């Protein structure tokens, strides 16, 4: 990706709700793009955001940020010329997301209001236009590259154009699928947890502090130290079972005991603000015994026997038996969260899986092995090594997906560069001479 496009991405992606600075900048217009003006305060705000993010910026920061702002405002100007439409629902949805994110960071909607010195309604009104314009910019960016297609012939031509000494080196990669079975707690263990939570509910209704009980007893490590408080949340952020209960509670109300994939919960509603809420909860998990774990292992051994006898394929068995929702409907294939690909460089593989597949052959299925989730829950799984590549230079056979993406990026860069050249030529652009001569990657200062 070109240096300029990276800068443009920075300019668009860093637009966010901000508090007023403690200092005041004597504002002035430093550039005009079509009918859009760029203020000195815009430049200073973007610089402050970049510096606070810890990014290592090489070269003249003023010039780089100004170029990014010029690009952003050229997109906005052209979006208005082209009558790019952004619906009010889309703007409202993005405002909801931003306000929710900042409320969570600060702890609550009240703390957000305190931080800005304004009500939520006032914050929404103040930033509506800025969010609308950002969405117009994003839509315009998407329109520029919307018609790009990449054919196999394009990929081959791109690959053949790469100098031999510049062909990327691909480290060893694997593709892995799994079938996971979670041990089922006994009815006695489930009853014990539910009875304990019902006891907490009676205590809370009798006046005992819910937050104190969450600190003492909840098994949610993230919220327990905070008295079980989860922070402001909106629709779609929590698991469905949790959300269904939350939206049926009034402020101050305490739920009955309910179940989710994480365990059993008791919830206290702290506050409701439209579609947002802040709640406390106490989470308890039924204790597993060695017998529960052994039953899960034996079940997985039976599943492997069905696969090895050709009664089921691995993919069919995953769909029918696996308890892992993330892979069950994907033939058991594990997706790399870093890339969205089904391939993992060895250094990105879960260490628990690496230890299992390290000595396996392609196509081999492991014996059941115990694993522990990020939440500390235990389960058994079998793993199939679908593919393994050795470290090598990229080629069209093994690395087509990577080369296809590189080709697409090259086409995208070219499309953006062509759009910029044409749009700059036909747009009135003026830059304040006091900024000095910047070494822009584009001919922004054509009139200076």
Which residue's entry shows tokens 């300029």? 4
Q: Is the pLDDT of residue 82 over 60?
A: yes
| SS3 (DSSP) at 82 | coil
Q: Is the pLDDT of residue 119 over 70?
A: yes
363 in Cβ contact with 175 (< 8 Å): no
Q: What pLDDT shows up at residue 58?
A: 76
CA-nearest of 39, 59, 38, 61 to 50 is 61
Q: What pLDDT shows up at residue 447?
A: 54
Q: Which one has a higher pLDDT value, 437 or 402?
A: 402
Q: Fold identical between 3-149+405-435 and 187-284?
A: no
Q: What pLDDT shows up at residue 234?
A: 82
CATH of 3-149+405-435, one of 3.40.50.360, 2.50.20.20, 1.25.40.10, 1.10.4030.10: 1.10.4030.10
218 in Cβ contact with 283 (< 8 Å): yes
Average pLDDT, integer, range 211-240: 91
Q: What single DSSP character describes residue 374? A: T
Q: What pLDDT shows up at residue 431?
A: 92
Average pLDDT, rounded, for the chain: 89
- For the chain, give every domain's residue range: 3-149+405-435, 170-184+289-393, 187-284
Q: What pLDDT shows up at residue 267?
A: 97
Q: Is the pLDDT of residue 378 over 80?
A: yes
User: How far is it, in rounded angstroms, from Cα 235 to Cα 388?
Assistant: 41
- Would the pTM count as exceeding 0.85? no
Q: Which two tokens stand for residue 436?
A: 């000095």
Sheet holding 344-345, edge to edge: 344-345, 173-181, 378-389, 369-372
CATH of 187-284, one of 3.40.640.10, 3.40.1160.10, 3.10.50.40, 3.40.50.2300: 3.10.50.40
Q: How confident is the model at residue 87 (pLDDT cuts 50, 70, 90)?
A: very high
Q: What is the CATH number of domain 170-184+289-393?
A: 3.10.50.40
């Amino acid at each position: 990706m070109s240096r300029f496009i990276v800068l443009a991405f920075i300019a668009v992606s860093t637009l966010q709700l901000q508090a007023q600075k403690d200092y005041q900048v004597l504002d002035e217009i430093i550039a005009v793009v079509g009918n859009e003006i760029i203020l000195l305060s815009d430049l200073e705000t973007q610089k402050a955001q970049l510096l606070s993010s810890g990014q290592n910026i090489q070269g003249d920061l003023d010039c780089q940020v100004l170029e990014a702002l010029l690009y952003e405002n050229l997109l906005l100007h052209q979006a208005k010329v082209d009558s790019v439409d952004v619906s009010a629902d889309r703007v409202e949805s993005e405002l909801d997301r931003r306000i929710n994110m900042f409320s969570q960071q600060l702890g609550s909607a009240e703390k957000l209001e305190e931080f800005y010195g304004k009500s939520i309604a006032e914050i929404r009104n103040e930033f509506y236009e800025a969010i609308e314009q950002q969405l117009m910019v994003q839509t315009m960016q998407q329109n520029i590259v919307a018609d790009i297609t990449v054919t196999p012939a394009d990929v081959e031509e791109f690959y053949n154009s790469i100098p031999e000494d510049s062909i990327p080196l691909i480290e060893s990669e694997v593709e892995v699928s799994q079938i996971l079975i979670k041990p089922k707690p006994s009815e006695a263990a489930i009853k014990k947890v539910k009875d304990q939570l019902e006891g907490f509910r009676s205590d809370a209704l009798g006046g005992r502090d819910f937050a104190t009980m969450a600190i003492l007893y909840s098994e949610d490590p993230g919220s327990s130290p905070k008295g079980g408080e989860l922070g402001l949340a909106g629709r779609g952020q929590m698991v469905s079972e949790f959300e269904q209960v939350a939206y049926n509670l009034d402020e101050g109300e305490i739920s009955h005991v309910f179940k989710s994939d994480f365990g059993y919960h008791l919830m206290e509603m702290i506050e409701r603000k439209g579609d947002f809420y802040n709640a406390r909860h106490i989470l308890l998990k039924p204790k597993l015994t060695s017998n529960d774990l052994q039953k899960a292992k034996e079940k997985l051994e039976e599943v492997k026997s069905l696969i090895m006898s050709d009664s089921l394929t691995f993919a069919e068995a995953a769909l029918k038996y696996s308890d892992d929702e993330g892979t069950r409907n994907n033939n058991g294939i594990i997706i790399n969260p870093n890339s969205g690909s089904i391939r993992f460089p060895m250094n990105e593989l879960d260490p628990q899986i690496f230890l299992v597949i390290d000595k396996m052959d392609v196509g081999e299925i492991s014996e059941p092995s115990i694993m522990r989730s990020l939440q500390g829950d235990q389960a058994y799984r079998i793993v199939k090594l679908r593919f393994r590549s050795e470290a090598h230079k990229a080629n069209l056979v093994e690395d087509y997906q990577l080369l296809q993406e590189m080709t697409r990026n090259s086409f995208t860069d070219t499309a953006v560069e062509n759009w910029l050249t044409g749009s700059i030529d036909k747009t009135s652009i003026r830059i304040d001479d006091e900024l000095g001569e910047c070494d822009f990657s584009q001919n922004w200062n054509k009139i200076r």
